[in-house]
Amino acid sequence: MNQIQLIKAVPMALALLVFAAWGCGGDPSPEFPLQEHVDGDSHQKVKGARCASHDLPDTVCFICNPGLRDSGRLWCAEHDRYEDRCFVCHPELEDPERLWCSEHSLYEDECTLCHPELRDAPRQRASVGGELECREHGVLEKECGICHPELAAALGLGSGLMIRFESARSAAKAGVETARPVVASDHSEVAFLARVTWDQNHFASVTPLAGGVLRHVAADVGQSVSRGDRLATLTSPEVARSKSEYLSARAEEKLRRTVLAREQELVAQSISAQQELDQARAEYEIARNATAMTRQRLLNFGLTERAVLLVEETGSTSSELDILAPLAGTIVDRHAVPGEAVEPGDALFKIARLSSMWLELSIPEREVSLVSVGQSVSATFDAQPGLQATGRVTWIGSSVDEQSRMVKGRAVVANPDLLLRHGMFGRARIRSELASDGLFVPVGAVQHIDDRAFVFVRLADDLFELRRVSLGVKNGAKIAIMTGLDPKDEIVVAHSFTLKSEFLKSRLGAGCVDE
């Protein structure tokens, strides 16, 4: 309940409780602040004038009449309550150990509308072992899941709330069936969704390293190629200019080397000065660096060492540039068209080695601890009955997807017959290496409420416990319960959603007070 609801509910709750207390002839609870002003002649006072705002006798309505308030207690004018009972201004005063009646804005042990027995009997008569009892459902208030569904959020593992049906036959009529959990050793497989993709360690996207126009395309999709095979030929003025600059730099280097050798002879014969030798040596080094730079530029365009040597030997400044395969594999995609102008970065071909593929795994968060790098994995595919791929897990992600609550993983699988195709979906299975004795229940026996796992335990024909549990590995139609169950517990294995609905109906307004 928010602050606005509490403020609005307080005056009405005061009126209802005073009316309930007087109308039944019982003495109001001494803990209720308004009722502290009602003495033994309250029945006569009821017959007098009444307060129009709160429908209470003028002689007791201390909300309207400040003179009736306790002189030793501070008054909260904003919310019309004593300061020591105003939980809006002073939330620290609220007792967390006492259950709250949200319908009437009072503690359950003060609410005579929900608990009429409190009007004319000592509190211990409406309690069990000193605890307040829910008379409607025959359980403790703090354990009543129908009256107090909000308590489920604070349940620890193995703790629960009680759900009682209207009669002992209600559960049977709803088809509820129970059974004990199965004690078994967990050597099961974990299975999850997988998607086939290219082996990115043997995959290449081929792009031109210089801008130009495609003159010829020599390869097509589905063709197998070897490393260095020509895929296409590009005409590029930039390549022609770089070849010319390389040849010029090479010629200049040769000239400066000759000058340096002559200056060395002249200095040895004392004909030339040392300064002229130093100058010749510096000019040679500059020319040599220019040659190296222009040569590297040609290599950056994708020319091989042999192609650069051929340029030097022939003196050719052709603008043609061959685009070569960077690895052996199969061309799986092509965007190269003769006559098309291309720029560096344009993907012309994609080459993949198909003898191995990747499986992209989607591992549920609760099962990621059962998977480790190096484990064997097998995958089957609905689109290819009988096809099974095997390999090993090579990587497990370090984060959980916020939306799907899945952890990414990867496995490399063999594809000797080339039947696996990029984009295929299947189910990957990994045999769990963790072996432990556990309790297994049908998957349908587990219900989730507020992202927490629960099972329903039968205590009587009409009484069930909503118990919080922790889940383990899933094995086909069964799932392991790690904490919260005993082998002797009878759990609901069929129509457990019926009990979940019985529990959740109180959130829709059907709680302990339906009047």
Tell me the DSSP string of 379-443: EE-TTSTT-EEEEEEEEEEEEE-TTT-EEEEEEEEE-TTS---TT-EEEEEEE-----EEEEEEG
189-200+352-431 belongs to CATH 2.40.30.170: yes
Reported confidence tier of residue 112, pLDDT bands at 50, 70, 90: low
State mean pLDDT over 479-484.
86
Q: Grade residue 52 by pLDDT with cuts at 50, 70 and 90.
A: low
Which of 454, 387, 434, 382 has the alpha carbon at shortest distance from 415? 387
Q: What is the mean pLDDT of residues 402-421?
A: 93
Residue 38: band (very low, low, confident or very high) from pLDDT cuts 50, 70, 90: very low
Q: Is the pLDDT of residue 143 over 80?
A: yes
Confidence of residue 126 (pLDDT cuts 50, 70, 90): very low
Q: How many CA atoms lie within 13 A of 502 on its CB side?
A: 24
103 pLDDT band, cuts 50/70/90, is: low
What is the three-state SS of 201-245? Answer: HHEEEECCCCCEEEEEECCCCCCEECCCCEEEEEECHHHHHHHHH
| Cβ atoms of residues 393 and 410 within 8 Å | yes
- Of the candidate ranges 117-131, 280-294, 341-355, the one whose mean pLDDT is the lowest: 117-131
304 or 412, which is more confident:
412
Please state the rounded mean pLDDT for residues 472-493: 84
Domain boundaries, the chain: 3-121, 162-184+436-508, 189-200+352-431, 209-351
Question: What pLDDT band is residue 432 in, cutting at 50, 70 and 90?
Answer: low
> Is the pLDDT score of 435 beyond 60?
no
Cα(408)–Cα(419) distance, integer angstroms: 24
d(CA 233, CA 208): 10
- Is the pLDDT score of 130 beyond 90? no
CATH number of 209-351: 2.40.50.100
**How is domain 162-184+436-508 classified at the architecture level of CATH?**
Beta Barrel (2.40)
Percent of the chain's residues with pLDDT above 90: 37
Stretch among 244-248, 276-280, 453-457 having the lowest mean pLDDT: 276-280
Distance CA 304, CA 296 (A): 11
Average pLDDT of the chain to the nearest whole number: 80
> Of residues 64 and 337, which shows the higher confidence score?
337
- Which has more pLDDT, 119 or 285? 285
Q: What are phi and psi of 53, to 5 degrees?
A: -75, -40
Q: For position 377, what pLDDT does the model report?
A: 93
Q: How confident is the model at residue 96 (pLDDT cuts 50, 70, 90)?
A: confident
Q: How many CB atoms lie within 10 A of CB 3?
A: 12
More confident call, 223 vs 109: 223
Q: What number is the average pLDDT over the span 162-175? A: 84
pLDDT-based confidence at residue 119 (cuts at 50, 70, 90): low
Go through the chain and tell me how many residues it has. Answer: 515
Q: Which of 46-50, 272-276, 442-446 has the lowest mean pLDDT?
A: 46-50
Q: What is the pLDDT of residue 241?
A: 93
Q: Is the pLDDT of residue 444 over 50?
A: yes
